[in-house]
């Protein structure tokens, strides 16, 4: 059934709301974006055709409220909902509620989300399709013997929530002693984030690369892939740097991985955008990890190397139209890298930071794309995810992309909250990264190399001098004594 | 005169005095010229650099050659108090590494714990973190309840060595 989308509700916020809005606007689609009292500075809000206020405490609850999100879309006369990533994007009940309200859900059907969005059922399905998976133990098979079966799988073990994603609720156990605590923490986190405490244990492949395949399916059952992305630079199981194509991946292995992804998506009768994630061992074995039934954070690297607009493809398919291109028409050109700019202190163990964007200066130049979710003046609170912006570059080859990224990172200024651009820059300058020797243990292995050098005495003096000059209360030298010596505490 | 400290090395206090076109840093004169929004051109010891600096409350963010540094302005009276109250707080206090909310309390006041035992779980920006005991002893204080929010460096738990006076 073909239907044209005229007005789109973007059930998200920050950079991805703006990203979706840009494509919708280009396609002549009217956009509606939700706004919360705690989140009024997002760049999408100033560009949306309409804004609808949403409520909830904490603020994130507003974006997780299925009823309220659907009601907001209906109230504003939208005929479709784009969930973005995170929040309700992989929630089958949300997709169903949108459809039941008579609106188009820009994503796969609720049924497919149920099958492929759940790690355990997706894994069972992969096994039936002959796609390799790692040895594992599923709590649902028999909760009473779960710990024992997990033990038998062998260490190191990854304990994760059956309904999880994005690294939330994941724990690693290196030996029997660590197992029960890992189970306890994973269950608590999983319950809290996904409302589902069911667990799953699987063998942790040592020094794996994280390689994922972007797939698209349409209502005629046609499935194509848009190549792979390597996302091995991770901390706490969360991606920090992604690139396409994967460096040092032999051509035949790449073909087999992409073919496995297409096979899995075809068998699932997958419609719209999806990502099939694999881990690849140093020996070249690959195992199905999970499928993300939505647009990924790192989708821009695929856009850079294919020249395609993934949100446009999503909308085309959601309208019931066919995929506009065949597999052989997908052309890959050059190399693309994405860095996630996060509000965190990478040198202090990647702890999140809060503050306010007091000074923002965006990088630019040939092959540079900056998808930014904040504006100057945006408060950065603990209410939302720490992702502030995505810096994406494209170059004729990987070396050019790396040099462009180094220079773009140095140009990125966001003062008023601690961000990780210096840390990312040190990764981009590391020789092992430059030579493509990336696996998920990279940041841990090179921790010492990635620690910043101490400032020299002269640099310290300059920093202190600039700091003193920038703090208004203490640079008021004209205030007469004794008030001047009381500085900022004079009231 | 103002006292500043680098956030990553709070023990070292620096005295700064702002004058026209110069700042005295621990008695050393650094030449400073304002340059565009938030820009400062500093010259010291024959070297000249352009820095960016903004302040927010008592926190000052500075960028030098793409590298960001966070500093705090120190209340001189508080600095003096901290200097005289040696032994207070101590190694058993678990401070919040980030602002956030308490998700779960894993121990109760009075309970015996070992170094490394999990005391409570906190959350910030959708990331959970387990706060563990710094020493063997008993839990003296858990000042926050589940659901309560806190700022960076607030005390989340206090564990004292057995035998210490309560």
- Residue-wise pLDDT tens digits, A33-75: 999 999 999 999 999 999 999 999 889 999 999 999 999 999 9
The residue assigned the tokens 């881990």 is A279
> How close is the nearest chain B Cα to the Cα of A262, in Å?
32
- Do A349 and A465 belong together in one domain? no
Mean pLDDT of chain A: 92
pLDDT surpassing 80 at residue A266 = yes
Q: Does any domain span residue A451?
A: no
Residues B77 and B7 in one domain: yes
What pLDDT, on the 0 to 100 scale, is given for residue B164?
A: 58
Chain B residues whose beta carbon lies within 8 Å of the beta carbon of residue A236: 127
Peptide linkage before A286 cis (omega within 30 of 0): no
**A300-322 burial: b if 16+ Cβ within 10 Å, else e:** bbbbbbbebbbbebbbbbbbebe
B54 & B103 share domain: no
**Which candidate from B19, B73, B104 shows the least CB-CB separation from A474?**
B73
Cα–Cα distance measured from residue A317 to residue A489, given in angstroms and rounded to the nearest whole number: 61
Question: Helices (DSSP H) in A76-175: which residue ranges?
Answer: 92-100, 110-117, 119-128, 146-153
Is there a contact between A210 and A239 (Cβ–Cβ < 8 Å)?
yes
- Tell me: do A468 and A439 sit in the same domain: no
Phi/psi of residue A329, nearest 5 degrees:
-85, -10
DSSP state of A76: T
Identify whether residues A357 and A320 lie together within a single domain.
Answer: yes
- pLDDT confidence of residue B21: 92
Beta bridge partners, A210, equal: A279
- For residue A125, being part of any structural domain is answered with no
**Contact at CB, B53 and A415, closer than 8 angstroms:** yes
Question: The dihedral of CA A201, A202, A203, A207: what is its sign?
Answer: negative
A190 and A271 fall within a common domain: no
Ramachandran bin of A362, using left for φ above 0, alpha for ψ from -120 to 50, beta for the remaining angles: beta
Summarised one tens digit per residue, pLDDT across range B118-150 is 899 888 877 778 888 888 889 988 999 988 888
Given CB atoms, is B28 within the 8 Å cutoff of chain A? yes
**A445-A447-A450-A454 Cα dihedral, nearest 10 degrees:** -150
pLDDT score for A109? 96
Residues 6+ positions from A122 with CB-CB distance below 8 Å: A115, A116, A288, A290, A291
Tell me the CATH number at A140.
Answer: 3.30.1490.20
Is the CB of A422 inside 8 Å of chain B's CB atoms? yes
Distance of CA B125 to the CA centre of its chain: 19
A323 close to A312: Cβ distance less than 8 angstroms: no
Beta bridge partners of B74: B3
Instruction: Give the chain A residue whose CA is nearest to the CA of B19.
Output: A477
ipTM of predicted assembly, 2 dp? 0.76
Subunit contact B64:A352, Cβ cutoff 8 A: no
Enclosing domain of residue A262: 209-445
Q: What is the largest CA-CA distance in chain A?
A: 81
Domain hosting B145: range is: 93-160
Task: Report which DSSP code applies to A293.
Answer: -
How far apart are alpha carbons A365 and A352 in whole angstroms?
29
Last residue of a domain, one of B46, B81, B116: B81
Q: What Å distances lie between residue A121 and A85, A114, A161, B78, CA to CA?
A: 21, 8, 13, 58
Interface contact B73-A488, CB threshold 8 A: yes
Res B128: pLDDT: 78
Last residue of a domain, one of B30, B58, B81: B81
Output the pLDDT for position B85: 35
Within 8 A of A181 by CB-CB distance, chain B residues are: 118
What's the pLDDT at A169? 72
| A positions 104-163 inside 8 Å of B (CB) | none
Say yes or no to pLDDT of A489 above 50. Answer: no
Determine the average pLDDT of the residues in A226-237.
Answer: 95
Q: Dihedrals φ, ψ of A335, to 5°?
A: -135, 140
Please list every residue in chain B whose beta carbon sits closer than 8 Å to the beta carbon of residue A185: 121, 130
The reply to whether A183 falls in a domain is yes
Residues A216 and A309 both lie in one domain: yes
Domain end: B17, B49, B81, which one? Answer: B81
> With an 8 Å Cβ cutoff, is A329 touching chain B?
no
Across the interface, do B97 and A351 touch by the CB < 8 Å criterion?
yes
How many structural domains compose chain A? 4
Which of A97, A69, A74 is CA-nearest to residue A84?
A69
pTM over 0.90: no
Q: Average model confidence (pLDDT) for chain B?
A: 84
In a domain, B166, yes or no: no
Residue B129 maps to which CATH number?
A: 2.40.50.100
Q: Give domain status of residue B153, yes or no.
A: yes
The sign of the torsion formed by the CA atoms of A143, A146, A148, A149 equals positive
| A122 within a domain of the structure (yes/no) | no
């Amino acid at each position: 059934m073909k239907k044209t989308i005229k007005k789109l509700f973007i059930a998200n916020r920050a950079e991805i709301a703006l990203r979706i809005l840009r494509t919708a606007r280009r396609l002549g689609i009217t956009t509606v974006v939700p706004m919360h009292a705690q989140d009024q500075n997002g760049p999408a809000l100033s560009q949306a055709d309409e804004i609808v206020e949403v409520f909830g405490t904490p603020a994130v609850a507003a974006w997780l409220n299925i009823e309220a999100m659907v009601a907001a879309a209906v109230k504003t006369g939208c005929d479709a909902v784009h969930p973005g990533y995170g929040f309700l994007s992989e929630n089958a009940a949300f997709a169903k509620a949108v459809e039941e309200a008579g609106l188009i859900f820009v994503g796969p059907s609720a049924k497919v989300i149920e099958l492929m969005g759940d790690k355990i059922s997706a894994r069972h399905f992969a096994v039936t399709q002959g796609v390799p998976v790692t040895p594992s133990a599923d709590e649902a098979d028999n909760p009473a013997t779960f710990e024992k079966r997990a033990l038998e799988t062998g260490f190191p073990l990854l304990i994760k929530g059956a309904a999880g994603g994005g690294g939330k609720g994941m724990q690693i156990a290196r030996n029997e002693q660590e197992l029960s605590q890992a189970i306890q923490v994973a269950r608590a986190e999983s319950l809290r984030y996904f409302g589902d405490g069911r667990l799953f244990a699987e063998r942790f492949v040592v020094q794996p690369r994280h390689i994922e395949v972007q797939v698209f399916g349409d209502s005629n059952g046609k499935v194509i892939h848009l190549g792979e992305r390597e996302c091995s630079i991770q901390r706490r199981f969360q991606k920090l740097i992604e690139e396409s194509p994967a460096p040092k991946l032999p051509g035949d292995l790449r073909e087999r991985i992409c073919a496995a992804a297409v096979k899995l998506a075809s068998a699932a009768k997958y419609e719209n955008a999806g990502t099939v994630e694999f881990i690849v061992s140093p020996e070249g074995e690959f195992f199905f990890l999970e499928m993300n039934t939505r647009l990924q954070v790192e989708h821009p690297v695929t856009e850079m190397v294919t020249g395609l607009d993934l949100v446009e493809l999503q909308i085309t398919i959601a309208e019931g139209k066919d995929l506009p291109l065949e597999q052989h028409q997908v052309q890959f050109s050059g190399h693309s890298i994405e860095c996630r700019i996060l509000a965190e202190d990478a040198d202090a163990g990647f702890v999140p930071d809060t503050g306010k964007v007091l000074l923002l200066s965006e990088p630019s130049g040939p092959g540079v794309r900056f998808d930014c979710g904040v504006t100057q003046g945006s408060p950065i609170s603990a209410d939302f995810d720490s992702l502030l912006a995505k810096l994406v570059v494209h170059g004729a080859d990987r070396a050019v992309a790396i040099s462009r990224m180094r220079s773009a990172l140095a140009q990125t200024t966001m003062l008023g909250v601690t961000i990780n651009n210096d840390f990312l820059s040190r990764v981009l300058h590391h020789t092992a990264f430059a030579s493509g020797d990336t696996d998920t243990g990279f940041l841990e292995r090179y921790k010492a190399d990635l620690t910043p050098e101490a400032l020299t005495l002269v640099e310290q003096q300059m920093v202190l001098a600039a700091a003193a000059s920038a703090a208004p209360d203490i640079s008021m030298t004209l205030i007469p004594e004794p008030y001047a010596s009381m500085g900022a505490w004079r009231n | 005169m103002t006292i500043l400290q680098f956030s990553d090395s709070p023990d070292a206090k620096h005295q700064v005095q702002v004058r026209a076109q110069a700042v005295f840093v621990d008695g050393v004169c650094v030449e400073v010229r304002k340059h565009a929004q938030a820009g400062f051109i500093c010259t010291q010891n024959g070297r000249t650099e352009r820095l960016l600096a903004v302040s927010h409350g008592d926190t000052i963010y500075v960028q030098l050659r793409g590298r960001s540094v966070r500093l705090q302005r120190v209340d001189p009276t508080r600095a003096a108090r901290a200097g005289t109250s040696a032994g207070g707080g101590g190694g058993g206090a678990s401070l919040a590494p980030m602002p956030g909310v308490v998700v779960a309390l894993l121990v109760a006041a009075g309970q015996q714990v070992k170094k490394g035992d999990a005391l409570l779980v906190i959350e910030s920006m959708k990331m959970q973190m387990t706060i563990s005991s710094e020493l063997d002893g008993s839990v003296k204080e858990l000042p926050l309840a589940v659901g309560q929010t806190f700022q960076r460096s607030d005390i989340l738990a206090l564990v004292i060595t057995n035998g210490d006076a309560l």
